[in-house]
Amino acid sequence: MENKTAENTYLIDLSYTKTPADVVFELSSVIENEAACNKKVVLNLGDVDLNQSQLLSIKSLINGINSSLVTLSSVSAQTQQAAMALGIVIDNNEPRPESAQYVPMTEHIETAVLETESVQEDAQDESEIAENESDTLTEAESSQNDVQTEKATEYIEEKEIEEELNKPVEETPDEIKSGLDALYDNSDDGVEPVKLGSIFDSEQKLEKLFEEQEGRPENIPADGVSVKIEIPDYDIPDEEYTEEDYAIMEMPTKSYKQTVRSGQVVNYDGNVVIIGDCHPGSEIIASGDITVWGVLGGIAHAGAKGNRKARIRALNLNAIQLRIAQFYARRPDSLNNMYAEKTSTFTPEEARILNDNIVILRLNDK
Amino acid sequence: MTGRVIVITSGKGGVGKTTTSANIGTALAKSGAKVVLIDTDIGLRNLDLLLGLENRIVYTLVDVVEERCKLKQALVKDKKNPNLCLLAAAQTRDKTAVTAEQLKEICEELQEDYDFILVDCPAGIEHGFQTAISGASEAIVVTTPEMSAVRDADRIIGLLEAKEEIKSYKLLINRVRPNLIKANDMMSVDDVVDILSCNLIGIIPEDTGIITSTNRGEPIVNDENSMAGKAYKNVALRIQGEEVPFLDIDEPHGFIDKIKKFFKIKAKA
Per-residue pLDDT at A202: 31
Q: Choosing among A284, A338, A339, A358, which should be mutated to test the B contact, i.e. which has the most B CBs within 10 A?
A: A338
- The CA-based dihedral angle spanning residues B42, B47, B52, B53, taken in that order and rounded to the nearest 10 degrees: -40
Are B215 and A339 within 8 A, CB to CB?
yes
Residues comprising chain B, all counted: 269
Q: Among A131-145, A318-332, B16-30, which stretch is predicted with the lowest mean pLDDT?
A: A131-145
Domain segments of chain B: what residues? 4-268
Over residues A2-18, the mean pLDDT reads 67
Q: How far is CA A79 from CA A50, A64, A83, A171, in A?
A: 5, 21, 6, 23
On whether the CB atoms of residues A353 and A328 are closer than 8 A, the answer is no
Tell me if A321 and B79 make a contact (CB, 8 A cut-off): no
Q: Are strands B200-205 and B84-87 parallel, antiparallel or unpaired?
A: unpaired
Q: What is the pLDDT of residue B116?
A: 96
According to the model, what pLDDT value does residue A339 have?
Answer: 52
DSSP B5-46: EEEEE-SSTTSSHHHHHHHHHHHHHHTT--EEEEE--TTS--
Closest Cα in chain B, distance from residue A281 (Å)? 6
Does the structure show a pLDDT above 70 at A295? Answer: yes
Give the residue from A104, A344, A317, A308 showing the smallest Cα distance to A219. Answer: A308
Instruction: Look at residue A91 and tell me whether its pLDDT is greater than 80.
Output: no
Interchain CB distance below 8 Å, A283 and B43: no
pLDDT tens string B138-155? 999 999 999 999 999 999
Question: With an 8 Å Cβ cutoff, are A281 and B68 in contact?
Answer: no
**Short-list A331, A255, A319, A326, CA closest to A282:** A319
B184 touches A at CB < 8 Å: no
Chain A, chain B: beta-carbon pairs less than 8 Å apart: 47
What confidence score (pLDDT) does residue A234 get?
61
Nearest to B134 by CA among B87, B98, B92: B98
Those residues with Cβ within 8 angstroms of residue A139's Cβ, 6 or more apart along the chain or in another chain: none
More confident: A91 or A271: A271
Query: Out of A3-7, B89-93, B113-117, which region has the weakest mean confidence (pLDDT)?
Result: A3-7
Q: pLDDT for A201-216, tens place per residue?
A: 233 333 333 333 333 3
A325 vs B222, more confident: B222
pLDDT score at A337:
54
Q: Is the pLDDT score of A152 beyond 60?
A: no
What pLDDT shows up at residue B115? 95
When pLDDT is cut at 50, 70 and 90, the band that residue A305 belongs to is confident
Query: In this predicted structure, what is the pLDDT of residue A206?
Result: 34
Distance in angstroms (rounded) separating the CA atoms of residues A319 and A300: 7
Closest residue by Cα to residue B30 from B230, B168, B256: B230
Q: Which overall architecture, per CATH, does domain B4-268 show?
A: 3-Layer(aba) Sandwich (3.40)
> Which residue would you say has higher pLDDT here, A104 or A80?
A80
C-alpha distance from residue A74 to each of A5, A25, A27, A89, A132 (Å): 19, 18, 15, 11, 52
pLDDT band at A182 (very low <50, low <70, confident <90, very high): very low
CB contact under 8 A, B58 and A220: yes
More confident residue, A53 or A217: A53
